[in-house]
Amino acid sequence: MGMDFTQAKQRIEQLKAVLWENSRKYYVENAPTMSDYEYDQLMHELEDLEREYPEYATADSPTRRVGSDLESGFAKYPHQYPMLSLGNTYSIGEVEEFAERASKSLEIPFTYCCELKFDGTAICLTYRNGKLFRALTRGDGVVGDDVTANARRIANVPEKLQGEGWPAEFEIRGEVLMPYESFDRLNREREANEDQPFANPRNAASGSLKLQDPEEVAKRGLMCTLYHIPTGQVDYPTHDEALKAAQQWGLPVSDKRRLCKDIDEIEAYIAYWDTARKELPYPTDGIVIKINEMDAQRQLGFTAKSPRWAVAYKFKAEQALTPILSIDYQVGRTGAVTPVANLEPVFLSGTMVKRATLVNEDQMAMLDICEGDWVYVEKGGEIIPKITGVEESKRVPGAKRPPFPKVCPDCGTPLVKSEGEAKWFCPNNDGCPTQIKGKLVHFVSRKAMNVLAGDATVDQLYNLDLVHTPADFYDLRESQLLMLEGWKERSAQRFLDSLRESRNVPFERVLFAIGIRYVGETTARDIARHFGDIDTLAQATKEELIAVPDVGEVVAESLYRYFRDERHLIEIQRLKAAGLQMSVQRQGENVSDALAGKTIVISGNFSVSRDEIKALIEANGGKNSGSVSGKTSFLLAGSKPGPEKIKKAESLGVQILDEEAFRKLLPEGSLPEMPQNDDTELTLF
């Protein structure tokens, strides 16, 4: 690949960081920042590099572990059989290679079962004595979130099985989907309430399944499609026969699968559904090809992450050709200037596309965009539309490249571009109207302060000089709101009630809501827990900031500069006076000193989430650390711990404890009893 060892190591670490971050955004935040295709291409690049440089391949690589959708607020239970991911390909040639490998490896006759690849969120249902016992999300593949109460509110998930012949207890896996009709209705409702609409049905399905209110789940119009019973759970010779039995028991099994005897029939099935899927009422993004015979599946076995007896063929993103009418330059809340093309409207992936991002100046140059060009637009995974190419045969003679602005299109401040940055920024953070409004919208957003206000409300309050900084929200009075166009007593009261409730939002989310550049949700949480309160954070030196795990020089510099600005310090004091949480709240009566003075590093999977383990350590007087050092009291190692952390702990003589030993250090009842998990056989979700 033309790299030396240093370059290869750097690229591998970079790819791992990007893939894990997008995995978190995909599974946890339901807000992916790249298309499935882009993600898969980066994953393939990482796989190739790890093959060429095996000394840099680690057990915690995303090539060997599945993403996690675990969240706090849900009970955690282990899967009886781990839920793995499938190997993805966009190439028919690689499907042919899969079939050829199977033919060479198997000495028994076999067929293929081809199924639609549904674009939803994975679910595992357990039935006990014919009744729905538990529903788990995929989680991290080993442990899942318990969403049983929500699954019961999905219309086609049966509470009781029908017929006969079902085992006393068994698992069946599948996908929770949001049909297009439900998706459109939900987004209309969200826009009417000034909530951010969901980007695509998959995100909407995943977010809906994780709601805390089952009654709200029932309103979302979700559906479930089941497609796999783990080997050994039922006694059928083929995968297809197992699904037919499940269908007879009243379970919602897809009727779109087809048995194929060779690669020609597989390719015909793919070709048919690449077109016919557009008529389906729910989203699909590919075809899953499985070896049908159970004995053949057992012979082929598994890799660390995927079964060798199945592969997923992903449909290429839909593409359309349309002309650029004009280009706008949008300023975000961080000051980043993004070029956006206004297009002749074109129908793509179920919606009418009128605008598409051009990303940044470098991307415009790489695409060689000229005024009036006809461009190819893609919506891979139904994410934000992107321009991927230019049809030069339609270019008007003498067409010129559009000049990228040198000053902010909103406030006129000269733009700046830091070394290593791809985007131009407006540095007028506290004076640029678009940035100010962007920060206000961010502050009231659901994952920040969760105030009942959206873009339209912020625009109205800003334009009338009622709100310019977040603290201004807390000075608003009902009499002021009732004077505004469109405001009634009920809407004013709901808005003020949500402001009052936002005073209970924990410090880590307040820190995220403030909108410091480069400080996202995870970073805000780590910083809040490290420093404990806003005053200690504000006084921290750059060296102290960099000492926070996963905070590098760029983030530290941004934090340091933010708290050296007198305007920001005044704003913090106003927010504090308004009653917002500016320190980490400890659980008074539950705190013990069992771990007082101990610095603990955790690694691996546990019977509860890692966040719960970290909170438990802090509640009992201990301190969490992200890396093993001479100051580490002990390494708490769950299942599948990081080998590098184990190795370093051993080299430094740091004690290594498992979860059982850790439990003995804590007051009785601190953790629920560890459920038993049988890992004797793997299966995919």
Q: What phi-psi label fits residue 131: left (phi over 0), alpha (psi between -120 and 50 degrees) or beta?
A: beta
For residues 361 and 337, give the distance between their C-alpha atoms in angstroms, rounded to a whole number: 9
CATH of the domain at 156: 3.30.470.30
Structure tokens at 472: 């201004």
Is 215 found in the same domain as 111?
yes
Is 618 found in the same domain as 507?
no
Question: Last residue of a domain, which of 314, 331, 346?
Answer: 314
Beta carbons of 345 and 356 less than 8 angstroms apart: no
Question: Which of the residue ranges 309-313, 335-339, 502-506, 619-623 would you say has the lowest mean pLDDT?
Answer: 619-623
**Letter string b/e over residues 483-502, b meaning 16 or more CB atoms within 10 A of that residue's CB:** eeeebeeeebeebbebbeeb
Q: Among the options 16, 76, 117, 314, which is catalytic?
A: 117
In this prediction, residue 680 has a pLDDT band, given cuts at 50, 70 and 90, of very low
pLDDT, tens only, 380-403: 544 568 898 999 999 999 999 999
Q: How many CB atoms lie within 10 A of CB 470?
A: 24
For 309, half-sphere exposure in the C-beta direction (CA atoms, 13 angstrom radius) is 24
Give the C-alpha distances (Å, rounded to integers) separating 283 from 58, 88, 144, 175, 353.
35, 17, 24, 11, 18
At residue 685, the pLDDT reads 31
**What domain count does the chain have?**
5
CATH of the domain at 385: 2.40.50.140
Q: Identify whether 343 is part of a domain.
A: yes
Beta carbons of 110 and 296 less than 8 angstroms apart: yes
Q: Identify whether 66 is part of a domain.
A: no
Number of H helices, E strands in the chain: 25, 23
Backbone φ and ψ for 256, nearest 5 degrees, come out as -95, 0
Is 237 found in the same domain as 104?
yes
Beta carbons of 145 and 158 less than 8 angstroms apart: no
Q: Which domain holds residue 650?
A: 588-685
CATH of the domain at 610: 3.40.50.10190
Residue type, 31: A
pLDDT, tens only, 619-652: 788 888 777 887 889 999 887 777 778 888 888 8
Is 297 found in the same domain as 163?
yes
Is 333 found in the same domain as 299?
no
Report helix, strand or coil for 394. helix
DSSP for 344-367, please give it. EEEEETTEEEEEEE--SHHHHHHH
Structure tokens at 660: 């059982």
Q: Identify whether 655 is part of a domain.
A: yes
Is 160 found in the same domain as 229?
yes
Is 602 found in the same domain as 516?
no
Question: Last residue of a domain, which of 283, 314, 345?
Answer: 314
Is 424 found in the same domain as 370?
yes
Backbone φ and ψ for 306, nearest 5 degrees, come out as -140, 155
At residue 178, the pLDDT reads 93
Is 594 found in the same domain as 551?
no
CATH of the domain at 573: 1.10.150.20
Structure tokens at 464: 């009338």
Query: Is the pLDDT score of 333 beyond 70?
Result: yes
Q: 6: part of which helix (H) or strand (E)?
A: helix 5-24
Q: Higher-confidence residue: 110 or 674? A: 110
Beta carbons of 641 and 603 less than 8 angstroms apart: yes
Is 247 found in the same domain as 112?
yes
For residues 121 and 144, give the distance between their C-alpha atoms in angstroms, rounded to a whole number: 12
Mean pLDDT of the chain: 86
At residue 682, the pLDDT reads 33
| Mean pLDDT comparison of 180-189, 207-216, 234-243, highest-scoring range | 234-243
pLDDT, tens only, 579-609: 999 998 754 444 578 888 888 988 877 777 6
At residue 669, the pLDDT reads 61
First to last CA, the chain: 34
* Whole-number percent of the chain with pLDDT over 90: 51
pLDDT, tens only, 513-530: 999 988 988 789 889 988
pLDDT, tens only, 476-499: 999 999 999 989 999 999 999 999
Is 124 found in the same domain as 268?
yes
In this prediction, residue 415 has a pLDDT band, given cuts at 50, 70 and 90, of very high
Token look-up 């159970």 returns 294
Q: Identify whether 64 is part of a domain.
A: no
Report helix, strand or coil for 339. strand
Q: How many CB atoms lie within 10 A of CB 448?
A: 22
At residue 679, the pLDDT reads 36
Query: Is the pLDDT score of 405 beyond 60?
Result: yes
At residue 489, the pLDDT reads 93
Q: 287: part of which helix (H) or strand (E)?
A: strand 284-291
At residue 593, the pLDDT reads 81
At residue 586, the pLDDT reads 56
Beta carbons of 82 and 680 less than 8 angstroms apart: no
pLDDT, tens only, 522-560: 789 889 988 999 999 999 999 999 988 778 888 999 999
At residue 390, the pLDDT reads 94
For residues 79 and 271, give the distance between their C-alpha atoms in angstroms, rounded to a whole number: 35
The mean pLDDT value for 72-81 works out to: 82
- Of the candidates 678, 663, 677, 668, which has an alpha carbon nearest to the alpha carbon of residue 612? 663
At residue 678, the pLDDT reads 38
CATH of the domain at 46: 1.10.287.610
Q: Higher-confidence residue: 459 or 193? A: 459
Residue type, 246: A
The mean pLDDT value for 197-207 works out to: 84
Q: Identify whether 359 is part of a domain.
A: yes
Beta carbons of 649 and 604 less than 8 angstroms apart: no
For residue 648, indicate whether it is catalytic: no
Is 310 found in the same domain as 347?
no
* Whole-number percent of the chain with pLDDT over 70: 89
